[in-house]
Amino acid sequence: MVGRLILVLGDQLSDGLSALREGDPNTDTVVMAEVQAEADYVPHHPKKIAFLFSAMRKHAARLAEAGWTVRYTKLDDPENSQSIVGELLRAAEATGATEVLATEPGEFRLIAALEEAPLPVHMFPDDRFLASHREFEAWAEGRKELRMEWFYREMRRKTGLLMEGDKPAGGKWNYDHDNRKPPKSGLDVTPPRAFTPDETVTEVLELVRTRFGNRYGSLDDFTWATDVTQARHALAQFINKNLPTFGDFQDAMVLGEPFMFHAHLSFYINAGLLGWREVCDAAEQAWKDGKAPLNAVEGFIRQIIGWREFIRGIYFLQGPDYTQQNVLEHSRTLPEFYWTGETDMTCVSEAVTGTMDHAYAHHIQRLMVTGNFALLAGVAAHQVHEWYLAVYADAYEWVEAPNVIGMSQWADGGVVGSKPYVSGGNYINKMSNYCNSCSYSVSTKTGEGACPFNLLYWHFLDRHRGRFEKNPRMAQMYRTWDRMDDDRRETVIADGDKLLARMEAGERI
């Protein structure tokens, strides 16, 4: 009997993967491959590539120890076809297999590639997620607005997490109001758990440094978890050290503190080293044991069974054309400082250079700094999308595209968010200490030294007035704008025009 091929992708490093459950270790062959096509469809951060290749190699070894025949292709194998489908075809020729079992990928481009492959590929649902496509579609059907909060409550009921019977623990579903404290001095932040690179990781780092070392992003100080055991140690440290304070300061930003109290676990969850259930159970247990307050635990769990699941549902509901949406018709080129960090705006420089160093920035840096500026400046949404997909190690299109196209850039016309997330400099000043050392003055609204966020905030509202002035969540902003005298409004628009012209000309901003 000729066995089948079982494809395991780099973000499917989970025990009990659906394709493996359908296979037979006595006859079938697992196919895993490091290929140039996956490293190059956007210029991925070298730390992301190093993480995935290292974790893939270790996962392949685990599968082999469990009794599977594993055909693993390294990037520098001279026979490597450098594409997923190409490696399946090579494996089919070598083994005589005529069909492939696969767990559905999380990106439409890979789904299409497998569907168009010149051998049958049987795709099974990725049931590592809480909500299936069918379940999300059923929830969404007939709703005028798709809002995460209502979906999240259904997931709480389904899982029983933080529930007391049919009521939410503490009497409220959402404690976000308690999770918006600005930074203060003396915060005791524990950095993410670090791991010394072993032989496997060291070999991968040398490969990645040779092949991808000239890309955006640093490969220095690579200390991430690359297997299940290490990832669980990283989870335990977060639960014990930072979860208790995570809620209060989850929106805060501090110079020199790229991680704050955030978990730094999304890499591991999205690649499959950690499952949503074990992560949420650990957080809930910390609350039950009195080691973490409810507002922190609820906020953390909401990110996973609420926002993460909701975003995935949106991606598959909207379909493969979602990343091309651009309802605001923004068309400016992404500024070069997104790739270099060379800007006089401290907040943007801090977010971008932190991303270069760590392939990571926390959600407020992404949404209210780099995302906010791109939206205010009218940068083409697809360019913003491709930047986020390239630079963050937790970015796969299913999770990144709705967060950027929808939440950050409002390019989907309100499918994800009821209003665009835009702000002037005051929000950044409130939630960070960035403005204290900035070349611009956050209190200056126009003229020399005015904060670019202040100028572009009103510029954005003015040029999109026809779309947003009747939005009930934005009416107050337009009333404030209308109360300004004509001369001031004209000055704001003129100064905004000049700033955008300088940016388009490549001048330092």
Q: 477 with 355, same domain?
A: yes
pLDDT value at residue 2: 76
**pTM of this structure:** 0.96
In a domain, 43, yes or no: yes
Could you read off the pLDDT of 105-126 as tens digits, one per residue? 999 999 999 999 999 999 999 9
In a domain, 421, yes or no: yes
Per-residue pLDDT at 186 exceeds 90: no
Which strands form 29-33's sheet, in the order they lie side by side?
69-73, 29-33, 5-7, 100-103, 121-124
Q: What is the mean pLDDT of residues 248-269?
A: 96
Could you read off the pLDDT of 356-377 as tens digits, one per residue? 999 999 999 999 999 999 999 9
Rounded CA separation 389/38 (Å):
12
pLDDT value at residue 257: 94
Q: 298 with 409, same domain?
A: no
Dump the DSSP string for 260-304. TT----HHHHHHTSS-HHHHHHHHHHHHHTTSS-HHHHHHHHIII
Q: 196 with 311, same domain?
A: yes
CATH code for the domain of 211: 1.25.40.80
CATH code for the domain of 102: 3.40.50.620
Domain that holds residue 357: 337-504
Cβ-Cβ contacts under 8 Å for 271 (sequence gap 6 or more) = 10, 11, 13, 51, 52, 55
Name the β-bridge partners of 332: 379
Q: 299 with 206, same domain?
A: yes
pLDDT value at residue 304: 98
In a domain, 158, yes or no: yes
Per-residue pLDDT at 61 exceeds 70: yes
Q: Which long-range contacts (CB under 8 A, 24 or more apart) does 471-476 make?
A: 471/418, 471/419, 473/418, 473/419, 474/419
Q: 155 with 249, same domain?
A: yes
In a domain, 323, yes or no: no
Q: 89 with 49, same domain?
A: yes
Per-residue pLDDT at 490 exceeds 80: yes
Rounded CA separation 353/348 (Å):
8
Among 285, 318, 351, residue at a domain's last position: 318
In a domain, 77, yes or no: yes
* Domains held by the chain: number: 3
Q: 298 with 362, same domain?
A: no
Q: pLDDT averaged over the chain?
A: 97
Could you read off the pLDDT of 444-457 as tens digits, one per residue? 999 999 999 999 99
Q: 276 with 370, same domain?
A: no
In a domain, 329, yes or no: no
Place of tokens 């709705």: 402
In a domain, 168, yes or no: yes
pLDDT value at residue 493: 97
CATH code for the domain of 398: 1.10.579.10
pLDDT value at residue 1: 54
Place of tokens 């490091």: 34
Q: 384 with 290, same domain?
A: no
Among 93, 124, 155, residue at a domain's last position: 124
Q: 138 with 179, same domain?
A: yes
Q: 377 with 452, same domain?
A: yes
In a domain, 509, yes or no: no
pLDDT value at residue 35: 98
| Residue 332 DSSP class | B
Q: 106 with 152, same domain?
A: no
Q: Please, what sign has the CA dihedral across residues 353, 356, 361, 367?
A: positive
Q: What is the mean pLDDT of residues 347-353?
A: 98
